[in-house]
A and B are shown apart, each in its own frame.
Chain A
Amino acid sequence: MVTVLYFAGLRERLGCGREQIPLPAGTPTVGAVLDWLRTRDGRWAEAFAPERAWRVAVNQHMADLATPLKPGDEVAFFPPVTGG
């Protein structure tokens, strides 16, 4: 399992801040998790549609679709940041 977190507008659009999901089979990556989420539920497909901007972090470090995952990892999806 991996823990998936969502922040800010993404969390509100999905109606979910945190969930546990199974680690995809094969070579698990952020991209594989995203594919699984998109096919699971229309809201995820819409929130991660190609025209939407988002970022991802794995274990609190910025990551990308190719970043590999292992059991227990924390994967966070969020909109581009707007602090300062």
Chain B
Amino acid sequence: MARVRVQEAPFDAGREIAAMTNGRRDVGAVATFVGLVRDSNDGAAVRRMTLEHYAGMTERALEAICDEAHSRWDILDVRVVHRVGPLEPGEAIVLVAVAGAHRGEAFAACEFIMDYLKTRAPFWKKESTPAGERWVEARESDDEAAARWAEGGGPA
């Protein structure tokens, strides 16, 4: 299966991990992150969320982030699955799974990929709230989280 996928359909994190590690005997650690749709944001109830993306550039940006993770850490494989279209609270939006020989590099690479995805991959969230629809604003804290990795650094 492709290392990076953008899809409307739900994903099964267990299946993705199994597909990545099946038949391998060199993997000692798999670190995963799953992002879910929350039922509230910035003080408003969220009834539904719709994710838009820039087809083509999204896949390119995600591939570039995975390449960067491979160049920074000694990891064995990566999977990124990101959903688009309408999503309900409680549904999973994104999966990042990183396989490595040891947990330290797998954890670090997984966090790095998420931080870069949130600031570099062209996705946009629109929330449906009781007051109407609104586009989610980018957060400064996301830029700060991504900036921690500049020049080979990592979280303090």
- A residues at B contact (CB < 8 Å): 5, 7-9, 12, 53, 57, 60-62, 76, 78-84
B interface, over-half SS: mixed
A21 and B142 CA atoms in complex are apart in Å by: 34
Across-interface contacts of A12 in B (CB, < 8 A):
135
Alpha-carbon separation in the docked complex, A83 to B120 (Å): 9
Q: Report yes or no: A83 in contact with B54, Cβ–Cβ below 8 A.
A: no
Q: How far is the CA of A76 from the CA of B121 in the complex (A)?
A: 13
Closest to B96 in A: A84
Out of B53, B56, B135, B137, name the residue touching A83 (CB < 8 Å).
Answer: B53
Contacts A/B (CB < 8 Å), 5 sampled = A60-B54, A81-B119, A81-B122, A84-B82, A84-B114
* A60-B56, A76-B54 given; A83·B138 CB < 8 A: no
B138 with A80: CB separation less than 8 A: yes
- What's the Cα separation between A80 and B142 when bound, in Å? 11
* Choice from A53, A60, A82 contacting B57 with Cβ under 8 Å: A60
Give the chain B neighbours of A81 by CB distance below 8 A.
118-124, 138
Distance, CA A20 to CA B114, complexed state (A): 34
Complex Cα spacing A5 to B137, Å: 20
Closest partner residue, chain B, to A13 (CB atom): B135
- Chain A residues contacting B154 (CB-CB under 8 Å) are none
